[in-house]
A and B are shown apart, each in its own frame.
Chain A
Amino acid sequence: MGFEEFVAERLDGLLRYATVLTNDPHLAQDIVQDVLLRAQQRWDDIAAPPTYVRRMVTNEYLSWRRRAVRRMVPSSHDVLDALGQPSADPATAYDERDAMLGLLAKLPRKQRAAIVLRYYEDYSDAEIAAVLRCGASTVRSQISRALATLRTAPHPAAALTTGAGE
């Protein structure tokens, strides 16, 4: 697959993955753009582009300290509000998701990456381990700890509106 064909087919998916990973659409765009520009220069040497590029995006997220110095990474609500006006929504399921996004935003980066790879990408423990470059037992441990935190997300009755600032 050529680079242009890869970009045409995969760019939207990469941006979605990076947005879910970083919790910041702007940072996601920065990361995906940087990764693709680097991949473009040595495309012919990359054996499995989809896996390779996704791993590069994940690595960029896990090592974004340098970027964080340059720019503040906004919280989930701030990011979402910047993209659309806050609006009340009577659907409690919507509020639950809001609360869950708040908890996801507070997870340590590696736990968040493991959760995203498991529940957004549907990766197996072994696949997650390969991306995060750790053992499968470490992956299970990271996910277990993350789930323990995420189970505390408020139940429907606890939240009534959406889009409000924290």
Chain B
Amino acid sequence: MTRSEHQTETLIRESLDRLAARAPDGRAVHEALARAERGRRAPARFALVAAAVVALVVGVFAGAQLLTRPDLETAAGRAVLGYSPEWLPGDFTEQYREGGPGITPQVRRWSSGQSSITLLTYSTADPEWSQAALKIASIKDQVLVHGRVAMVTGSGGVAQLTWLADDEHVLSASIAGFSDARAVAQRIADAVAADPVGVRGELRFGPLPAGLAERSVAVRGTGPGDASTELTAADPARPSVPLVRAAVSGDSPGVNGAAPVTVRGGEGFFVAPENGRDAMVAVRLPSGRWLTVSGAQPEAVLVAVANGVQLDPSPDYGWLGRATS
């Protein structure tokens, strides 16, 4: 039995879209291109550094810092998370990923009922984690992970195991809701490998207010059906404090009593700050989903950020609700 041409065409499009969602993230290609570019620049770098040596020792340091910086950096709208556990307890599904450029911490979370497993990755360039090796060495409760000393904290059903994957990355496996949390944390940590995954949400920032830069992208949901994406922007001098948030989700943000305002050329809403909650603008997108932008910013700034947001028609939500170990 054959199907109609229209049915066939629809099925082809759906099948190809599904296959497209299996595409690798671009990290390996980025790295290959960066290596090639560094190879081409090598002679010029040598001359520059040599000149700096003659001029000023401090200048050499600054120049080397500049030249050894990665040539390409992933934008926050398309973060790459560098590590994956190759083993997880049964029934756990991944429900959260967060990452961003520079030293933004990377987060992956799996859940099953009330139990959760969170894998965090920090950069040793982050001042808060630059002394991690010393801290780990000073703690009595130590174990070995991949031959490196790791520290264990927590008690009862909660455990946190922290170790250095290499000189640049501090990893932490945080376990909650297990009767044998320490043993589970150890087994997960032993199974963590440098196997990157991507985070591709459904929006990206356009122009941001002066002094702010993209900080992170987070995708969450129990499955593709209730997925949402949130971006944050921060002052690069204080990257741990998000100052503007932009999110798209299927849930209404609650706009009863809000003031009408034009957002993205349509009817939007402005919710004034109240009880410690930031000001927010919201608009329902043509897809039926809600875009919100919030922060301690004037209404006009929030509207401008919302107007500049770029929507991605092909977010990758396929991993939500799946066992992705």
Please name the residue on chain A nearest to B198 by beta carbon: A12
Contact A25 B23 (CB under 8 A): yes
Contact A7 B36 (CB under 8 A): no
Contact with B along A81-123 (1 / 0, CB 8 A): 0011101000001001100110010000000000110011000
Please name the residue on chain A nearest to B314 by beta carbon: A16
CA distance A76 to B16 in the complex (A): 12
Task: Report if A153 contacts B (CB, 8 A).
Answer: yes
Contact A40 B36 (CB under 8 A): yes
Task: Report if A72 contacts B (CB, 8 A).
Answer: no
User: Among B11, B17, B26, which residue has its beta carbon within 8 angstroms of that of A153?
Assistant: B11
Contact A28 B24 (CB under 8 A): yes
Which residues of chain B are within 8 angstroms of A79 by Cβ–Cβ distance? 22
Contact B20 A32 (CB under 8 A): no
CA distance A79 to B18 in the complex (A): 13
Give the B interface residue count (CB, 8 A).
38
Which residues of chain B are within 8 angstroms of A100 by Cβ–Cβ distance? 11-12, 14-15
Please name the residue on chain A nearest to B318 by beta carbon: A84
Contact A120 B75 (CB under 8 A): no
Contact with B along A18-35 (1 / 0, CB 8 A): 111001011011001100
Which residues of chain A are within 8 angstroms of B38 by Cβ–Cβ distance? none
Residues 11-67 of B at the A interface (beta carbon under 8 Å): 11-26, 28-30, 32-33, 36-37
Which residues of chain B are within 8 angstroms of A150 by Cβ–Cβ distance? 8, 11-12
Task: Report if B2 contacts A (CB, 8 A).
Answer: yes
Contact B19 A23 (CB under 8 A): yes
Which residues of chain B are within 8 angstroms of A119 by Cβ–Cβ distance? 9, 12-13, 16
Contact B72 A4 (CB under 8 A): yes
What 4 A-B pairs are tightest by C-beta distance, nearest first? A19-B23, A100-B15, A16-B20, A151-B2
New contact pairs (9) apart from A15-B24, A18-B23, A79-B22, CB-CB < 8 Å? A7-B30, A8-B72, A15-B29, A16-B20, A20-B19, A25-B24, A100-B12, A147-B5, A152-B2
